[in-house]
Amino acid sequence: MAKKLLGIDLGGTTVKFGILTQEGEVQEKWAIETNILENGKHIVPDIIASIKHRLELYGLSKEDFIGMGMGSPGAVDREKNTVTGAFNLNWKDTQEVGSLIEKELGIPFAIDNDANVAALGERWVGAGENNPDVVFMTLGTGVGGGIIADGNLIHGFGGAAGEIGHMIVEPENGFACTCGNNGCLETVASATGVVKVARLLAEEYEGNSHIKAAIDNGESVTSKDIFVAAESGDQFADSVVEKVGNYLGLASANISNILNPDSVVVGGGVSAAGEFLRERIEKYFMTYTFPQVRKTTKIKIAELGNDAGIIGAASLASQFAR
């Protein structure tokens, strides 16, 4: 029997697991709740217990695996297989992760940042079609990303590469970002960023719009509400999507003007707007790219949804095949 890969996607609410073939096909998947109580001290033991239980259930042993990989929030040390400052897990201090899991399960372990891992997944069997040059951006609570260039995931000198959300798209008069800067992509293209753009545009919009009315009335409006309204013909909501598309098109174009990837793959909750959002990004991408890039780099919507994490994590383990 061909050996398998194990992928672990560690998140603040759930830990997702997958058993995959070496070709990236998910054969089994399951999830457990993330228990962040007591400084997250149960997380690693829970992961170990869950894997042990499932391997027994499926009649598998460590010999059936090439290795396992994990995507984690926080700052990941890929040499020591540790995680630091993953605040949504209550992991403030450095946590031993890989050493414990490896010791208990006897399977080689690799780890990387969650956005990087999702990028690897989408690149491998998702919209990236296993091309050596793929850029992934995820539009959710924040805006994150991962860059695969010439076949390698790019970490950078300080390990901070791929932070697409902190590209500056509004150098003057931008919204304040959690990073301390102003005008980051995240402030205008995350789920909350889209709403911020709507609030700003609402100040000057004078036509009829139930979205503008809701904003002016202080009702809760989500980025999804805005995209749904725009698709149904609400002109104000459409102007918000246009503005957000402009920012995303500019960021995608500037990334592509320097990296010329096969594709920029857009994922995350906001990307649920699908083709409606993609077209809008592409319109501005075409405006801001120079001809050779315009002809060769594509804007795509992510295909793997929540599975990107376990698939990308599993792909980290491919390195142990050699």
Q: Which residues have a Cβ under 8 Å from the Cβ of 117 and sit 6 or more positions away?
A: 9, 69, 70, 71, 146, 308, 309, 312, 313, 316
**Roughly how many angstroms between the first and final C-alpha of the chain, as a whole number?**
17
Under rule CB under 8 A, residue 94 binds a copy of itself? no
The correct pick among 181, 192, 235, 306 for binding a copy of itself (CB under 8 A) is 181
Under rule CB under 8 A, residue 152 binds a copy of itself? yes
The correct pick among 190, 223, 297, 315 for binding a copy of itself (CB under 8 A) is 297
Cβ closer to a copy of itself: 295 or 322?
295
Under rule CB under 8 A, residue 245 binds a copy of itself? no
Cβ 257 to a copy of itself shortest distance, Å: 5
- Identify residues 47-86 at the interface with a copy of itself (CB under 8 A): none
Select the span of 31-39, 112-120, 144-152, 198-206 touching a copy of itself (CB under 8 A). 144-152
Across the beta sheet with 298-301, the strand order is 152-153, 143-149, 134-139, 263-267, 298-301
Under rule CB under 8 A, residue 258 binds a copy of itself? yes
Q: 100, 129 in Cβ contact below 8 A?
A: no
Under rule CB under 8 A, residue 157 binds a copy of itself? yes
The correct pick among 94, 141, 235, 254 for binding a copy of itself (CB under 8 A) is 254
Q: How many residues bind a copy of itself (CB under 8 A)?
A: 50
Under rule CB under 8 A, residue 149 binds a copy of itself? yes
The correct pick among 4, 16, 166, 278 for binding a copy of itself (CB under 8 A) is 166
Cβ 281 to a copy of itself shortest distance, Å: 14
Under rule CB under 8 A, residue 144 binds a copy of itself? no
Under rule CB under 8 A, residue 218 binds a copy of itself? no
Cβ 156 to a copy of itself shortest distance, Å: 3
Select the span of 187-195, 229-237, 255-263, 307-315 touching a copy of itself (CB under 8 A). 255-263
Under rule CB under 8 A, residue 131 binds a copy of itself? yes
Distance CA 20, CA 310 (A): 9
Cβ 278 to a copy of itself shortest distance, Å: 18
Under rule CB under 8 A, residue 250 binds a copy of itself? yes
Name the nearest CA neighbour of 82 among 316, 74, 62. 74
**Residue ranges that bind a copy of itself, judged by CB under 8 A:** 131, 133, 145, 147, 149-164, 166-168, 171, 177, 179-181, 184, 246, 250, 253-255, 257-262, 287-293, 295-297
